[in-house]
Structure 1
C-alpha cells in the first residue's frame, strides 16, 4: 500500500480505515511512506497503533521509507522504527 499526499491529524480516521481494510485481505501489509508530502506526529502515532493492533491479531504492518526526509524526521522524533530496505529477511524480523 502506498500512502500519498498527506497523513496528518486532519485525515487520520480515513487513512486508518484504508489500512485496516487492506489488512483484512492479508497477513502482512507493507506501507510505503515515501510518497507522503505532509506527515506529522499524529500520523506516526496512528501508524504505530495500527501496527500494534495488527500484531494483536497475528498480522503485521511493515512501515517502509527509503528517501522521504520528512517521514524519517517525524519517526526519529517520536521514536518509531521503519525499514529503509525490504528483503525477504525483513518480513521475518519485524
Structure 2
C-alpha cells in the first residue's frame, strides 16, 4: 500500500490494495495523518484492490474522526471497483473534491 500526502497533510491518496490483509497498517497511517489536521481528503481512485473490509475500516475511521470533531472525506471520481464496493455496503463517498480552505 502506497500513501501519498499533499497540501500540508490535508490530502491522502491510497494506491495499491486496501483489503482485509492490510487494514490495521493503513488505518494507523490514516489516523497519523489526521493527527496533523482537522480535515483529511482521502483519494481512492488509485486503488487496484478494495474489499468490503477496507470500506468498513474507512467508515469506522471516519466515524471516529467525527467523534473527535475532525472530518474525513472519502473521494472517488473514476474507480469503478471502489464505487461498486461502497454502493454494495451503503457507504457514501464524494465524486467532487471540495474547494480547499487554507
Classify the TM-score, shorter chain.
Answer: over 0.9
* 1:54-84 residue CA offsets vs partner (Å, 9 max, x unmatched): 0000001000000000000000000000000
**Which of the two has greater helix per residue?**
1
Residue 88 of structure 1: CA displacement?
3.1
How many residues end up aligned between the 2 structures? 90
Runs of 4+ that moved beyond 6 A? none
Per the alignment, residue 49 of structure 2 pairs with 38
Superposed, which structure 2 residues align to 1:39-58 within 5 Å? 39-58=50-69
**Greater strand percent: which structure?**
2
Where relative contact order (Cα < 8 A, 6+ residues apart) is larger, the structure is 1
- TM-score normalised by L of structure 1: 0.93
Partner of 1:12: 23
How large is the Cα RMSD of the aligned pairs?
1.4
TM-score by length of 2: 0.85
How far has the Cα of 1:50 moved from its partner?
Answer: 0.1
